[in-house]
Structure 1
């Protein structure tokens, strides 16, 4: 059985989505800090300026690696585009030169939190939500694993949420998307014994997304929940959740495909 412990102090290839801000940005910076020279880090998000900010921070703490950015809308990215991004990032570097190939699926949107489940009748809204949060995630994951099939150690991370296990009022799109996405990665882990798959639930983190939920949710109890976390300063920082994330992977005390929460 493949060990789930990950050594980041290697020549690595890392691709991370939603890398322009928040949790994705912090995960990209802190994992890259540990990589050996010759490593390649690929940052995907819509915001070109946000990606450049992440890239600059990575190179400040580890100037010996190559950081590639690609401003892309993952709601409508084709398989061909995603394959081209990976191929161009590699340039002429052979896949076999990497000791670790890792992908972090951090991209995620909250969806329309002003609707109750009974009012989620717009088919286009459903399709657009799942296109970003599930369909492209699955396609990108397949493109990545097919490219790095021969790499000795492969890590797949799905940034998930407690919302895939527990219903939250006003968050029908988010809960449904997270549940479907996590089950896909559980099936992947069950089928591919040579992969390390982690479904990481980062806990309630102070990000633009939780600010958005607090401001727009149609459920008063949800708005008050995030308001209370901020007022009591018990909401987590991106640094806190990323530190825990890295320690979980380095310790490897989980089975591939497990859902591991910040508070576990």
Structure 2
């Protein structure tokens, strides 16, 4: 596959799934400063407060961008038909507008990937619930996005927020690591399947954010990750603030180029 660049300065239909953390907020703000007027931003999450907060931040930019908030009551109930019907109803509003979308862009940051709790042991029911939220929901939404007839002739970009650390074996986090690795493989495989169909895919690791909390055991005792046989080299990398990481992703997409289906880490280069 050849290297790609994405032109974000187009009339874009942008979906941001998962907005209840600081990274998503800054991703939304920085992305929207690039989109052309008439673009549409669809924010999806189960927190009404987070949705409205990010919406206000985008409106403050005065970029003539339409913002839609989609409140999900439960990620566990968000299957393919749920997303397909909901997305179809939203897109129907814009079917008769003067301008067609030049670019369709979805960014997946569903779930609570950066946890401060060690997640073992877990029951089978807990595993199923976690997988439905962190893997099944993202796949269901992504399939609805890819098959939307309104985007059949539109260039598409799919970005998956992942973690270089958490797609490796990690003691006491097999649940989280399993989902992260599965998501990573899904987006890699999907990139191969869609190669040549005007669909580009990238999994982005935003770095170890300075907002990350120390991990705690079930008794709320702080755990030194280096004691858990974690990757010492990765853990000693400098912390990153969310705005830096957001700008870095945009720089990768627009300037540095990427190979569809590959993983890119913030630390691959320190230049913004």
TM-score bracket for this pair, using the shorter chain length: 0.7 to 0.9
- 1:107 and 2:122 are equivalent in the alignment: no
Q: Tell whether the 8 Å contact from 1:201 to 1:261 is kept in structure 2 after alignment.
A: yes
Structure with higher helix content: 1
Deviation at 1:112, TM superposition (A): 8.9
**What is the match of residue 238 of structure 1?**
242
**What is the match of residue 201 of structure 1?**
205
- The CA deviation string for residues 52-71 of structure 1, in whole angstroms up to 9 with x for no partner, is 11011111113401000011
- 1:190 and 2:165 are equivalent in the alignment: no
Indicate how the Cα distance of structure 1 residues 197 and 224 shifts in structure 2: closer, same or farther if over 3 A, else same: same
**What is the match of residue 25 of structure 2?**
25
- The CA deviation string for residues 132-169 of structure 1, in whole angstroms up to 9 with x for no partner, is 11111111100001005423310000001013442222
- Which secondary structure does the structure 2 equivalent of 1:124 belong to? helix
Output the CA distance in 1 between the equivalents of 2:21 and 2:89: 23
User: Which residue, out of 155, 158, 164, partners 2:157?
Assistant: 155
Q: Tell whether the 8 Å contact from 2:5 to 2:256 is kept in structure 1 after alignment.
A: yes
**Structure 1 stretches of 5 or more lacking a match?**
226-231
Count the aligned residue pairs: 252
Q: Normalising by structure 1, what TM-score?
A: 0.86
Output the CA distance in 2 between the equivalents of 1:158 and 1:66: 23
- 1:167 and 2:169 are equivalent in the alignment: yes
Output the CA distance in 1 between the equivalents of 2:84 and 2:67: 17
Indicate how the Cα distance of structure 1 residues 60 and 196 shifts in structure 2: closer, same or farther if over 3 A, else same: same
Q: Tell whether the 8 Å contact from 1:157 to 1:198 is kept in structure 2 after alignment.
A: yes
Output the CA distance in 1 between the equivalents of 2:100 and 2:39: 9
Output the CA distance in 1 between the equivalents of 2:46 and 2:252: 29
Give the root-mean-square deviation of aligned CA atoms.
Answer: 2.6
Q: Normalising by structure 2, what TM-score?
A: 0.84
- Which secondary structure does the structure 2 equivalent of 1:34 belong to? coil
Output the CA distance in 1 between the equivalents of 2:188 and 2:222: 31
Output the CA distance in 2 between the equivalents of 1:260 and 1:237: 17
- The CA deviation string for residues 22-66 of structure 1, in whole angstroms up to 9 with x for no partner, is 111111111011111211000011111111110111111134010
**Structure 2 stretches of 5 or more lacking a match?**
229-235
Output the CA distance in 2 between the equivalents of 1:112 and 1:50: 20
Indicate how the Cα distance of structure 1 residues 3 and 154 shifts in structure 2: closer, same or farther if over 3 A, else same: farther
Q: Tell whether the 8 Å contact from 1:101 to 1:151 is kept in structure 2 after alignment.
A: no
Q: Which moved more, 1:87-96 or 1:27-36?
A: 87-96
Deviation at 1:205, TM superposition (A): 1.1
Indicate how the Cα distance of structure 1 residues 219 and 183 shifts in structure 2: closer, same or farther if over 3 A, else same: farther
